[in-house]
Amino acid sequence: MNKKNKKIFNQELNFHHYGIAVRSYKNILKFYKNLNYSIGKKIIDKKQNVELILCTSKKYPTVELVKPISKNSPISRILKEQDTTIYHVCYEATNKNFNVNKFLKNFNYVCVSEPKPNIIFKKKYTGFYFIKDTGLIEILYN
């Protein structure tokens, strides 16, 4: 990454949360409750075929628990090998004019899911991008 892109990344994107794919909430919710996380309500996102629970803390990073609601869910493929796994990191654009294509142009990436309205983070849009040698990132936009 060149200095210009590093500057853009540091100034226009902030860490927001990490996403964990789960088959069941039972044990993982116990874990986060034990760390004094606040556990949000279950939210169904039919566009992505998932059920979501947001876990927040004043001390620890925000966690999004993502559970498939059908075999067609992209999360179902992720969970073929494991029952639970961290599978994405989310960054939030701090500048409403943030240009994701400009930022990603120097990386070998694929847009996995075009930006669309996000149910759990109201009034925001979210897009998913797989970056070679980095993994899956989610970018949250205003």
- DSSP lists the bridge partners of residue 54 as 64
* Residue 107 and residue 95 in contact, taking contact as beta carbons nearer than 8 Å: no
Tell me the pLDDT tens digit for each residue of 64-87: 999 999 988 989 989 998 999 999
- Give the C-alpha separation, 68 to 137, whole Å: 18
In this predicted structure, what is the pLDDT of residue 120? 86
Q: Tokens in use for 7?
A: 């500057």
In this predicted structure, what is the pLDDT of residue 100? 87
Q: Tokens in use for 66?
A: 């993502």
* Residue 113 and residue 141 in contact, taking contact as beta carbons nearer than 8 Å: no
In this predicted structure, what is the pLDDT of residue 7? 52
In which residue ranges of the chain is pLDDT below 50?
A: 8
In this predicted structure, what is the pLDDT of residue 141? 86
In this predicted structure, what is the pLDDT of residue 122? 78
In this predicted structure, what is the pLDDT of residue 2? 54
In this predicted structure, what is the pLDDT of residue 103? 87
- Give the C-alpha separation, 130 to 142, whole Å: 21
Q: Tokens in use for 69?
A: 């609601």
In this predicted structure, what is the pLDDT of residue 124? 83
Angle, alpha carbons 75-53-27 (nearest 5°): 80
